[in-house]
Amino acid sequence: MAHDPYQRLDALGIRLHTPSVPSANFLHVVEIGDVLYVSGQGPREASGPVHTGKVGARVSTKDAHQHARIVGINLLAVLHHHLGDLRRVRRIVKLLGMVNCAPDFTEHPEVINGCSDLLVDVLGPDVGKHARSAVGFASLPRQITVEIEMIAAIRPA
């Protein structure tokens, strides 16, 4: 039996929301052939609040890990909205995980694992496991804690 991402989302108690309209002159997704380039998403809760602050200063690694998980949910929502069906995702190819962190912070991978683990849990290891970079930045837009962008391969409609 194939892995069904919607059954996994239900089991995890996750509901995908409609993504917000991009805030500037860009798209959430650009589709070229069978590849999707997904713009960076931030840790915005479905109910509206956005997580901000410096990881390693006033934000813990554990909290930022949860923020990266929220970003993973937002990335899945963008994919679902664009494709209409997450089962069309053939493979998550690559993530770029950016952490707004204190200069001496070193736990970037542990933060971005929040997103990576969610993608593998929802999509299964054959589809969800990906190449990845996890890096620190002096700041991110509006001081969000985490931003993650994605490249995904898809199946034809």
Residue-range domain boundaries for the chain: 35-154
Topology of domain 35-154, CATH? 60s Ribosomal Protein L30; Chain: A; (3.30.1330)
* Residue 2: pLDDT over 80: no
Residues 6+ apart with CB under 8 A from 129: 92, 119, 120
Predicted confidence at residue 157, as pLDDT, reads 86
| CB 111 within 8 Å of CB 65 | yes
Predicted confidence at residue 76, as pLDDT, reads 98
3-state DSSP helix/strand/coil % of the chain, to nearest 5: 35, 30, 35
The pLDDT mean for the chain works out to 96
Predicted confidence at residue 93, as pLDDT, reads 98
β-sheet bridge partners, residue 101? 55
Average pLDDT over residues 50-58: 97
| CB 96 within 8 Å of CB 133 | yes
CA distance 29 to 71: 15
Average pLDDT over residues 72-98: 98
Inter-CA distances, 77 with 1, 29, 36, 52, 145, Å: 24, 12, 14, 21, 19
* Residue 1: pLDDT over 60: no
Q: Note if the pTM is more than 0.95.
A: yes
* Residue 127: pLDDT over 80: yes
Give 111's pLDDT tier (boundaries 50, 70, 90): very high
Burial class (CB in 10 A: 0-12, 13-18, 19+), 43: buried
Predicted confidence at residue 122, as pLDDT, reads 98
Predicted confidence at residue 20, as pLDDT, reads 87
Give 3's pLDDT tier (boundaries 50, 70, 90): confident
Predicted confidence at residue 23, as pLDDT, reads 85
β-sheet bridge partners, residue 107? none
